[in-house]
Amino acid sequence: MKQFLYLIIIAFVFASCEENISLDLPREDPRVVVDGYVETGLPPYVILSRSSSYFDPINPGALNSFAESGAFVTIYDGVKTVQLIELDTVVNGVSLKGFYAALDSVTKLPTMFGEEGRTYQLTIITKDNQQLSSTAKLQPHIALDSTWFKVQENLDSLGLAWANLTDPDSIGNCYRWMAKRITKDDLFLAPLGSAFEDKFINGQSFVFNAFRGQIPNSTKPDDIKEEAGLFKKGDTIIVKFCAVDRGTFEFWRDAETQISNNGSPFAVPSNIKSNITGGLGVFATYSPAYDTIIAQ
């Protein structure tokens, strides 16, 4: 009984020592954020926005306040320089600014396509005369040897996508995995851990698996129930396996690590590595090879 009373007294003492702490976080000046891509056979495009403070609201109505409109954006592919035109894009009925693409301003036909082996130089001058730049190379594509679906142990019809890859005997190859289900997904979606390099697998043939990616905060039944992250018997899965340059790999490796930490107090805080000079974000290159998996 005495020990019990001592514990109660100690608890009250510690409770009385509690103090509410109010943190006054400094506000950083907004910085230009680049989300740019060059993909084999497609016209390059860039989405420009401004960073926001930690506690600023994020909602559809606030998106245009972050958009960086009126910028002068060019890409040089080693042969010619083209200016990207700004387009109006509509998402959920909201017209959004800050989207630039390598299209003709009149015909809207492509003025440049991604070609393997070429190095692309991005230059951006904002309407307030800030200058940003980046360089990225479109790597040769590397096809997977084989792909298949396998039901997970103790699950009736749910499982992962599997693949066999033979990495070329040249250190420094980097990859990113994406996939989409026919009739179920509108976009190719990358799961966490989608980006990897050949640091420990150079020149080797190996087998790996991949979860199903999903749109953040999705409320679709198969994204919030037991099917979340898994493929299902009957799915037709299109795999998009991309060779990427090192800047693309490092950005997505860091970004996915931050997402997976999800605010964990035990995670080591770090900045996401960017290949943008003068700003934040990524100028990425994708050289894809495609496969189809019939989940059965």
More confident residue, 218 or 19: 218
**Distance between CA atoms of residues 114 and 145, nearest Å:** 24
For residues 175 and 195, the answer to whether their CB atoms sit within 8 Å is: yes
pLDDT score for 261: 83
pLDDT at position 25: 63
Q: Which long-range contacts (CB under 8 A, 24 or more apart) does 82-87 make?
A: 82/111, 82/112, 84/44, 84/45, 84/46
Instruction: Read off the pLDDT of residues 65-76 as tens digits, 9 standing for 90 and up.
Output: 889 999 999 999
Q: What is the residue-averaged pLDDT of the chain? A: 89
Determine the pLDDT at residue 65: 81
Would you state the pLDDT for residue 162? 98
On the question of pLDDT at 57 being above 90, the answer is no
pLDDT of residue 16: 53
* Helices marked H in 204-272: 221-224, 246-261
Average pLDDT of span 138-153: 97
Percent of the chain with pLDDT over 70: 85
pLDDT number for residue 206: 95
What spatial distance separates the first Cα and last Cα of the chain, rounded to whole Å?
A: 64
- Give the tens place of pLDDT for each residue, 177-200: 999 999 999 999 999 999 999 999
pTM for this structure? 0.86
SS3 170: coil
129 or 89, which is more confident?
A: 129
Q: Which long-range contacts (CB under 8 A, 24 or more apart) does 53-61 make?
A: 53/25, 53/27, 53/28, 54/25, 55/25, 60/91, 60/92, 60/94, 61/94
